[in-house]
Structure 1
Amino acid sequence: MSDLILNDKKKVERLLGMSSGYVSNFSDRTFREFIAEAVGLNIEDPKYNNETNSKARRLRMFWQVESNAVVGKLLLELIEHVRSEDSYRWEQALGDECIAIAKRLLAGATVSELDAIKPNRKGEGFEMLAREVHQAIQNNNLREGLDRLHTFLTAYVRTLAQNHGINIEEKTLNAIFAEYVKTISAKGKLQSAMSEQVMKMSITALDKFNHVRNNQSLAHPNEVLNHEEALLIFNYVAATVRFLGTLEE
């Protein structure tokens, strides 16, 4: 459930012209397609059902049901739509207020370990890749950035493994990480059984990340994972990279 307060809702509804039951200049079809593209959710899902099922009422239910991250992301996309595609309705001062509302919702739903995403070896390509991941986070385009994050993590883990003399040729990300965990455990780098277990669990998690990259990211023409789960993956990967960085210092 989002933290949109009544006064915020009034401002957003005014910008989107929702008093008549419509939302901006959307038809039912374009509204459904817009929300699916923006946040990966189906606005016609029964959880958004209401008395009349008008677009405005469904959007109000969306605000009630979904998290700050999802609502904030969608609001920014809707605001930009009004500015660029429904400009007769655009009011700069009101638009700025609505942007501030959306950013407030997003402020508590960001990747907390952003600074950990940095190359662990020199190379222009690796540095560019890290910048692309940062850009996806800063622009809140996490769904679109999943492929870049996977590529970054693969390069990062391959470098770690090579530094420990591990053969990485023709091996998947999770297979390389499994050998890395075995190696650092044997070298006594992990001080607790729990830390070792968490690292072993990460082997399975990275295998699942391979699936996300291949089937739920923009690496291929896929239906992209929703924003909320993309945020979870970004935070998990960033926290893991931060921990691995401290191990190797």
Structure 2
Amino acid sequence: MTNLKRSEMRLIDSALGMGSGYVLNFSDRTFAEFFDDEFRIDVDQQRYKTRGTSKANRLRSFIDQEDEHLVARVLRRLWKEREEIPVFRDADDHGSLKIKLFELIATIEGGAAVPRTDVIERFTRDETLEELVPTFLGT
């Protein structure tokens, strides 16, 4: 789960043109196709409509609910999509938004949960392997 401050969410809103409920220049169909093609995620699921049904609200709900690494991947890919759209790419604030967004993405990833190591079995020596090594090596 990604917990963002309102100011951080406003940065994402600005970077992805989400002010009026849109995300970049996606239609409902292309937004769903983007998530399915890139991440195999059905962004039209009810769970992503907790904030509302617009594309921007579904993305906000997605960010609220998914883990940090997935959110970071999606934000990076959406930025790549933004850079392919002339009206967004040529905006005066493009460079500064990119820097701020990627700093936020790094923060999101840095806040990710520490990997669990309790599920890894402790290594124990196996004497049968040590006995086989000289035989295998021909010594």
Separation (CA, whole Å) in 1 of partners of 2:96 and 2:51:
33
- 1:40 partner amino acid: R
Per-residue CA deviations over 1:139-178 (Å, capped at 9, x if unaligned) read xxxxxxxxxxxxxxxxxxxxxxxxxxxxxxxxxxxxxxxx
- For residue 128 of structure 2, what is the aligned residue in structure 1? 187
Residue 49 of structure 1 corresponds to 49
Residue of structure 1 equivalent to 2:3: 3
Closer, same or farther: CA 79–51 of 1 in aligned 2, 3 Å? closer
SS of the residue 1:18 aligns to: coil
- Does residue 71 of structure 2 align to residue 68 of structure 1? no
1:1-249 to structure 2, matched below 5 A, reads 1-50=1-50, 52-84=52-84, 86-90=85-89, 91-107=94-110, 109=112, 185=126, 187=128
| 2: CA distance, partners of 1:4 / 1:39 | 22
Letter in 2 for 1:93: S
Work out which structure has the larger RCO, using CA pairs closer than 8 Å and 6 or more positions apart in sequence: 2
How far did residue 50 of structure 1 move? 3.4
SS in 1 for 2:35: helix
Tell me, in whole angstroms, the C-alpha distance in 2 between the residues paired with 1:9 and 1:38: 22
CA distance in 2, matches of 1:9, 1:78: 15
In the TM superposition, residue 64 of structure 1 has moved relative to its aligned partner by 0.8
Structure 2 unmatched runs, 5+: 116-124, 131-139
* Counterparts in 2 of 1:106 and 1:39: CA distance versus 1, 3 Å: farther
* AA in 1 matched with 2:12: V
* Separation in structure 2 between the aligned mates of residue 78 and residue 88 of structure 1, nearest angstrom: 15
* CA distance in 2: counterparts of 1:65 and 1:45, whole angstroms: 12
Cα deviation, residue 81, structure 1: 0.7
Q: Name the CA distance, whole Å, in 1 between partners of 2:51 and 2:128.
A: 63
Return structure 1 stretches of 4+ with deviation > 4 angstroms. none
Residue type of the alignment partner of 1:187:
T
Change (3 A) 1:19 1:34: same
Q: 1:52 to 1:104 in 2, by over 3 A?
A: closer
Structure 1: unaligned runs, 5 residues or longer:
113-183, 190-249
Q: Which amino acid aligns with 1:94?
A: L
Q: Does structure 2 conserve the Cα–Cα contact (< 8 Å) formed by 1:63 and 1:71?
A: yes
Query: TM-score, normalised to structure 1's length?
Result: 0.43
% identical equivalent positions: 28
How many residue pairs were aligned?
118
Q: Is the 8 A contact 1:79 1:99 kept in 2?
A: no
| SS of residue paired to 2:58 | helix
CA RMSD of aligned residues (A): 2.6
